[in-house]
């Protein structure tokens, strides 16, 4: 069995390496300690997927040696070191893991906010290093009652807002790319006027680093701020113009600043460090044990999914403008592609029609969702030859009909997507939804209601609903030393049932044949996601 090669270019937590090494279809090359020149020239030519952090530049030199590369996973949020346009021209999908270090960045932001208002680092040094006990020198201020302006109200900014509310702050959010209800539903005020943010007591920024956001707070913006304002940046270096920030701190216009990120790093010679009214940390936003593990695990899982062509979580260069898609809609793309792939594996026949039905707010994005459904379906047979750009053209050439339907929402779910796959001899129907922010679930297969995470090795066993079936299934599976990790059962009104049995080990054909030989068996298939 051929394997997919995943190259880890920079150090990640051991938990991620374990996930990669334990997958039977993945050949792991851990090149994190290799010299960069050797990595690029000798190791990367073997890679189907590369996992990188900030130490390895995915530039023209790197890409020129990456003849097999199909995807890059940036183990973190920022992709400053990745030539996304260069990757796109070569058909390489670029992904990041934007939520893995969310809590770490949120809590560091709150730490800087508290440090600036109470001047903890300076009071600490005065006592511990200078051995001076002068309480009167360290009068601070309280967060309670202060107005906090949050620039960028995504995963991190919104959570900062929630924590600031717990401190009884008056919180104001600015983000032109979100639905205002995302803020107002949290009892947080929303504004479209950036000047409202500049009138706050404390301002914190949580935007990505783009042409639009680099230096978005500069000399003019600082001039409009209240005297004695406090600025926080634990997002990306350069969002605050550092020259203007220095001048504002030097003059006292800005009372204090809490900075974790700098325009150029390492920032050991940055003149901001010379000032007495700034608290600084060396880019520690993701530096918690929990976040490092989360980053490694999510990066490894994304690498595996992309290597197998199943899905591309958090892809940054698919033919869909990410800024046009609300955060709560994006998980439906990945879910739909997985559902398409499950449908193709469950039927394993010539596809004649793919129908996508959407209910709820996601219906606005039915065209994009359908593209992901088609890719997921065709990947099973066409592998790398199908992309998000050519999927529907290939389907047309194969004589596959693509249908879309926006349905009235009668399911009881806020959003629901259904794929009906018609093959030469049968049809297969699967429905799914997303709970919370990104909890993907299969909720129905061929009319059987379930609650199933679309992940792992799954046996789909349809049977007559009589006593003893579950015991027979468990006995046969155990006979092959295969461990059952989850068992989900759906029943209908016709005395039939569908069991989805998740297992830890690969399933042999002989096991499926033995299950099929049971008198109660109607059908059995094996699906791997």
Q: Which of 320, 456, 322 lies closest to 387, judged by CA?
A: 320
The structure tokens listed for 197 are 């943010």
Q: Which residues contact 219 (CB under 8 A, 6 or more apart)?
A: 241, 243, 244, 247
Q: What angle do CA 140, 144, 148 make, to 5 degrees?
A: 95
> Which regions of the chain carry the CATH code 3.30.1330.90?
322-443
In this prediction the pTM is: 0.62
CATH fold of the domain at 102-280: Rossmann fold (3.40.50)
Residues forming CATH 3.40.50.720 domain(s) in the chain = 1-99+286-317, 102-280
* Domain 456-529 homologous superfamily, CATH: ACT domain (3.30.70.260)
> Active site residue: 142, 219, 265, 383, which one?
265
Active-site residue, 283 included = yes
- The Cα–Cα gap between 239 and 233 comes to 8
Q: Which fold has domain 1-99+286-317?
A: Rossmann fold (3.40.50)
Could you say which of 112, 159, 206, 283 is catalytic? 283
pLDDT tens track, the chain, 529 positions: 589 999 999 999 999 999 999 999 999 999 999 999 999 999 999 999 999 998 899 999 999 999 999 999 999 887 888 998 788 778 788 998 888 889 999 999 999 999 999 998 888 888 898 899 988 888 889 999 999 999 999 889 999 999 999 999 999 999 876 778 989 999 999 999 999 999 999 999 998 777 778 899 999 999 999 999 999 999 999 999 999 999 999 999 999 999 999 999 899 999 999 999 999 999 999 889 999 999 999 999 999 999 998 888 888 777 665 556 788 888 999 999 999 999 999 998 888 999 999 999 999 999 989 999 998 998 877 665 566 766 777 788 788 999 999 988 877 888 999 999 999 889 999 999 999 888 999 999 999 999 999 999 999 999 999 999 999 999 999 999 999 999 999 998 889 999 999 999 989 989 999 999 999 999 999 999 9
Active site residue 265: yes
Please check whether the domain covering 322-443 is classified as CATH 3.30.1330.90: yes
Question: Where do runs of H (alpha helix) occur along 129-269?
Answer: 155-166, 181-184, 194-198, 219-224, 242-251
**Options 159, 206, 236, 488, the catalytic residue:** 236
Residue recorded with tokens 């890679």: 47
Phi-psi region of 412 (alpha: psi -120 to 50; beta: other; left: phi over 0): left
Q: Is 135 a catalytic residue?
A: no
């Amino acid at each position: 069995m051929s394997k997919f090669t995943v190259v880890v270019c920079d150090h990640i937590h051991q938990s991620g390496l374990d996930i990669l090494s334990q997958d039977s279809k993945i050949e792991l090359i851990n090149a994190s300690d290799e010299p960069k020149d050797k990595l690029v020239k000798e190791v990367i030519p073997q890679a189907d997927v590369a996992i990188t952090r900030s130490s390895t530049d995915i530039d023209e030199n790197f890409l020129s040696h990456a003849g097999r590369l199909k995807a890059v996973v940036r183990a973190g949020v920022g992709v400053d070191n990745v030539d996304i346009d260069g990757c796109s021209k070569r058909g390489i999908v670029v992904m990041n893991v934007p939520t893995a270090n969310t809590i770490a960045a949120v809590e560091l932001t709150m730490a800087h906010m508290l440090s600036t208002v109470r001047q903890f680092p300076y009071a600490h040094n005065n006592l511990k290093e200078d051995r001076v006990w002068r309480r009167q020198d360290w009068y601070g201020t309280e967060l309670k009652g202060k107005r906090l302006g949050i620039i960028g109200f995504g995963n991190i900014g919104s959570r900062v807002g929630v924590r600031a509310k717990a401190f009884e702050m008056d919180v104001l959010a600015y983000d032109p790319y979100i639905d205002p209800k995302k803020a107002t539903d949290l009892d947080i005020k929303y504004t479209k006027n950036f000047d409202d943010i500049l009138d706050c007591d404390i301002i914190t920024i949580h935007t990505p680093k783009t042409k639009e956001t680099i230096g978005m707070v500069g000399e003019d913006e600082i001039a409009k701020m209240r005297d004695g304002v406090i600025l926080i940046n634990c997002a990306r270096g350069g969002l605050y113009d550092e020259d203007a920030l220095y001048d504002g701190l030097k003059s006292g216009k800005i009372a204090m600043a809490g900075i974790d990120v700098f325009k150029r790093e390492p920032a050991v010679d940055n003149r901001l460090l010379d000032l007495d009214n700034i608290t600084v940390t060396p880019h520690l936003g993701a530096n918690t044990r929990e976040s490092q593990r989360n980053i490694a695990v999510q990066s490894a899982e994304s690498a595996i999914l992309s290597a197998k062509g199943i899905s591309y979580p958090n892809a940054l260069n698919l033919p869909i403008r990410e800024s046009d898609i609300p955060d709560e809609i994006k998980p439906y793309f990945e879910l739909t592609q997985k559902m398409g792939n499950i449908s193709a594996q469950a039927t394993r026949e010539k596809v004649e029609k793919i129908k996508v039905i959407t209910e709820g707010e996601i219906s606005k994005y039915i065209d994009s969702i359908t593209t992901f459904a088609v890719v997921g379906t065709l990947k099973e047979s066409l592998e790398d030859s199908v992309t998000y750009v050519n999927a529907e053209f290939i389907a047309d050439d194969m004589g596959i009909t693509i249908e879309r339907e926006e349905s009235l929402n009668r399911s009881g779910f806020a959003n629901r997507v259904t794929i009906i796959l018609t093959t030469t001899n049968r049809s297969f129907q699967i429905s799914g939804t997303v709970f919370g922010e990104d909890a993907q679930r299969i909720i129905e297969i061929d009319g059987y209601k379930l609650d199933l995470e679309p992940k792992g090795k799954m046996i789909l066993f349809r049977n007559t609903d009589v006593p003893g079936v579950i015991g027979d299934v468990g006995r046969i599976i155990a006979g092959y030393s295969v461990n059952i990790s989850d068992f989900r059962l759906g029943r209908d009104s016709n005395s039939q049932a569908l069991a989805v049995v998740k297992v830890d080990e690969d399933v042999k054909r002989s096991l499926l044949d033995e299950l099929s030989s049971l008198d109660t068996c109607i059908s059995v298939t094996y699906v791997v996601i």
